[in-house]
Amino acid sequence: TKENDGDQGKQPGPISHAMSKFKARPGTYLLIPCVAAVVGWFTNWLAVQMIFYPVKFRGIPILIKNEVPLGLIGWQGIVPCKTRPMSEAMVNMVTEQLLSVKEAFALLDPRKVANLLAPEVPKLGEEVAGELLPKALVGIPKAVFVGLPRASRDVISHFNYRFLHDFTVAVQTNIDSLFNIKNCVVDQML
């Protein structure tokens, strides 16, 4: 018949050819995904190591450029190498796009700040006196304060509260000249 004659001249299809090759050497073909997984894992592990380590440059410091992790002979992790520009960019983004320091300090209520800090001032005064005065004289300021008439203690407490209130207002007004968040963050990151 004509149908049988046509089947004899056909080449095996690509799938049947691949199956015959697989059946001839199955171990070789089953090993491919295993080797690929090990190589993939190793390259990912190495990439993470190179991103974060070493923190300080390792190698011969012949030709090192600032904020470039690769020297002529040596390496420094990408993140440790670029700490300064990354922290500056983070501070700029937060202070320009989210919330500025001036806005954050403007949210403080001077009365609440004074109420929270007023009880802490005498404790802080005792700590300072303990560090500055001889041990025999440390208790004298507190004894003098406690020995004052109630009206005098109230006046001192009022001045303490008033000072803290006015201090908070002054800080809010002059925060840009008193506090530079970029310097604080960058110095801490380095």
| E strands in the chain | 58-60, 70-71, 73-75
Half-sphere exposure of residue 56, counting CA atoms within 13 Å on the CB side? 2
Separation of alpha carbons 173 and 108, rounded Å: 12
Provide block-wise average pLDDT over 10 residues at a time, the chain (190 residues). 52 83 87 93 91 82 76 80 80 74 86 92 84 81 82 89 92 83 70
Structure confidence at residue 1 (pLDDT): 46
Phi, psi of 59 (to 5 degrees): 140, -165
C-alpha dihedral, 131 to 157 to 109 to 103, nearest 10°: -40
Structure confidence at residue 9 (pLDDT): 55
CA-closest candidate to residue 49, choices 89, 78, 10:
78
pTM: 0.51
Structure confidence at residue 169 (pLDDT): 92
Structure confidence at residue 8 (pLDDT): 57
